[in-house]
């Protein structure tokens, strides 16, 4: 056999697959978000998912939302997947890198993405597109020249057997 194998996964399938696998580590009962940062030459630099900071127990801090007292609301405590991926990177600069993320980044993540030098975002879901957080995020990303596009699934089932 002299020809290369057909049916291998694309770069976007590969890295979005890693982002999804990261999302599966999240304990958020409502929305699990995963992120994977990749260099310009397609090397994985970092990964992250939404969760509480180190030392803040998943069993003690609140996972609920909508409590009349914000103190008991997860939003005050969760670190977003994109920020975790940026902070998890130990190698120096993320200038020029790409971010694969399962949910379009919010405004706070957009700030961190821009300041970290990430130049491209590939996202899957945009379920909060109409919210001020996502609209503000796009406003900042557009102004800063960060490119973004939605991942188009190939429909291929990712399975592996030896």
Report how far residue 120's alpha carbon sits from residue 128's, in angstroms, rounded to the nearest whole number: 19
Distance CA 69, CA 155 (A): 43
Q: Any catalytic annotation for residue 95?
A: no
Using the contact rule CB under 5 A, the part of the chain among 39-47, 57-65, 104-112, 146-154 near Zn ion is 104-112
Of 66, 30, 69, nearest to 50 (Cα)?
A: 30
Q: Per-residue x/- mask for ligand LAUPNLSC, residues 52 to 81, rule CB under 6 A?
A: -------------x------------x-xx
124 lies in the site for ligand LAUPNLSC, by CB under 6 A: no
Closest alpha carbon to 87 in 110, 113, 57: 113
- Choosing among Zn ion, ligand LAUPNLSC, none, which partner's interface includes residue 37 (Cβ < 5 to 8 Å by kind)? none
Q: What is the DSSP letter of 51?
A: B
For Zn ion, the binding residues (CB under 5 A) are 80, 106, 108-109
């Amino acid at each position: 056999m002299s020809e290369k194998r057909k049916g291998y996964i694309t770069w976007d399938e590969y890295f979005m697959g890693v982002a999804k696998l990261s999302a599966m580590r999240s304990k958020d009962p409502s929305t699990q978000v995963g992120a994977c940062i990749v260099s310009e030459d397609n090397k994985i630099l970092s990964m992250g998912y939404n969760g509480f900071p180190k030392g803040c127990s998943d069993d003690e801090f609140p996972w609920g939302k909508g409590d009349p007292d914000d103190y008991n609301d997860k939003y005050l405590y969760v670190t977003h997947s994109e920020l975790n991926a940026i902070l998890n990177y130990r190698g120096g600069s993320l200038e020029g890198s790409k971010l694969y993320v399962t949910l379009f980044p919010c405004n706070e993540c957009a700030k961190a993405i821009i300041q970290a030098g990430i130049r491209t975002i590939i996202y899957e879901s945009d379920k909060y597109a109409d919210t001020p957080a996502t609209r503000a995020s796009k406003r900042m990303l557009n102004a800063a020249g960060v490119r973004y596009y939605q991942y188009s699934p190939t429909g291929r089932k990712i399975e592996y057997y030896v």
